[in-house]
Amino acid sequence: MTGIFENPEEVAKLSCEDNEEESCDILDKDFPLEEALVPVLIELCVKELSGAVYRPEDNRNNASDDLSNTPVK
Protein backbone atom coordinates (compact mmCIF):
# COMPACT_ATOMS: atom_id res chain seq x y z
CA MET A 1 0.00 0.00 0.00
CA THR A 2 1.27 3.48 -0.84
CA GLY A 3 -0.02 6.66 0.73
CA ILE A 4 0.65 9.79 2.71
CA PHE A 5 -0.33 9.47 6.33
CA GLU A 6 -0.62 12.07 9.06
CA ASN A 7 0.54 9.76 11.85
CA PRO A 8 3.31 7.27 10.97
CA GLU A 9 2.90 5.52 14.32
CA GLU A 10 -0.62 4.39 13.39
CA VAL A 11 0.65 3.07 10.04
CA ALA A 12 3.41 1.17 11.82
CA LYS A 13 0.79 -0.47 14.05
CA LEU A 14 -1.23 -1.51 11.01
CA SER A 15 1.75 -3.11 9.29
CA CYS A 16 2.74 -4.79 12.54
CA GLU A 17 -0.61 -6.56 12.78
CA ASP A 18 -0.09 -8.14 9.34
CA ASN A 19 3.53 -9.20 9.82
CA GLU A 20 4.44 -10.75 13.17
CA GLU A 21 7.99 -11.64 12.06
CA GLU A 22 9.29 -8.06 11.97
CA SER A 23 9.97 -5.83 14.94
CA CYS A 24 6.98 -3.66 15.84
CA ASP A 25 9.06 -0.86 17.35
CA ILE A 26 8.59 2.31 15.30
CA LEU A 27 12.19 3.35 16.01
CA ASP A 28 13.38 0.29 14.06
CA LYS A 29 11.35 1.16 10.96
CA ASP A 30 12.81 2.71 7.79
CA PHE A 31 11.19 5.91 6.60
CA PRO A 32 12.28 7.04 3.14
CA LEU A 33 13.46 10.63 2.85
CA GLU A 34 14.50 12.62 -0.19
CA GLU A 35 18.24 13.23 -0.31
CA ALA A 36 17.68 16.99 -0.52
CA LEU A 37 15.90 16.93 2.86
CA VAL A 38 18.73 15.21 4.77
CA PRO A 39 20.62 18.45 5.63
CA VAL A 40 17.36 20.04 6.80
CA LEU A 41 16.63 17.03 9.01
CA ILE A 42 20.12 17.16 10.51
CA GLU A 43 19.79 20.89 11.22
CA LEU A 44 16.42 20.40 12.92
CA CYS A 45 17.77 17.53 15.03
CA VAL A 46 20.77 19.58 16.15
CA LYS A 47 18.53 22.52 17.08
CA GLU A 48 16.17 20.25 19.00
CA LEU A 49 18.93 18.47 20.89
CA SER A 50 21.06 21.52 21.66
CA GLY A 51 18.17 23.49 23.15
CA ALA A 52 18.88 26.93 24.53
CA VAL A 53 22.63 27.34 24.57
CA TYR A 54 24.38 30.37 25.98
CA ARG A 55 26.76 31.58 23.27
CA PRO A 56 28.09 35.05 24.00
CA GLU A 57 29.65 37.00 21.16
CA ASP A 58 33.33 37.76 21.49
CA ASN A 59 33.60 41.08 19.65
CA ARG A 60 37.04 41.80 21.13
CA ASN A 61 38.40 38.38 20.12
CA ASN A 62 39.95 37.98 23.55
CA ALA A 63 38.49 34.51 24.23
CA SER A 64 36.88 35.81 27.40
CA ASP A 65 33.23 35.64 28.40
CA ASP A 66 32.76 39.38 28.86
CA LEU A 67 28.97 39.16 28.97
CA SER A 68 28.94 37.31 32.29
CA ASN A 69 30.56 40.40 33.90
CA THR A 70 27.78 42.69 32.71
CA PRO A 71 25.80 44.09 35.68
CA VAL A 72 22.12 43.11 35.77
CA LYS A 73 19.73 46.07 35.75
Residue 35 has pLDDT above 60, yes or no: yes
Q: How confident is the model over 43-57, as pLDDT tens digits? A: 999 988 887 766 666
Q: Do the Cβ atoms of 66 and 56 come closer than 8 Å?
A: yes
The pLDDT confidence band at residue 40, using thresholds 50, 70 and 90, is: very high
Domain ranges of the chain: 8-50
d(CA 26, CA 21): 14
pLDDT value at residue 27 = 77
Tens-digit pLDDT profile for residues 21-31? 566 777 777 77
Q: Exposed, middle or buried by CB within 10 Å (0-12, 13-18, 19+), for 21? A: exposed
Residues 6+ apart with CB under 8 A from 13: 24
Q: Are 36 and 42 in contact (CB under 8 A)?
A: no
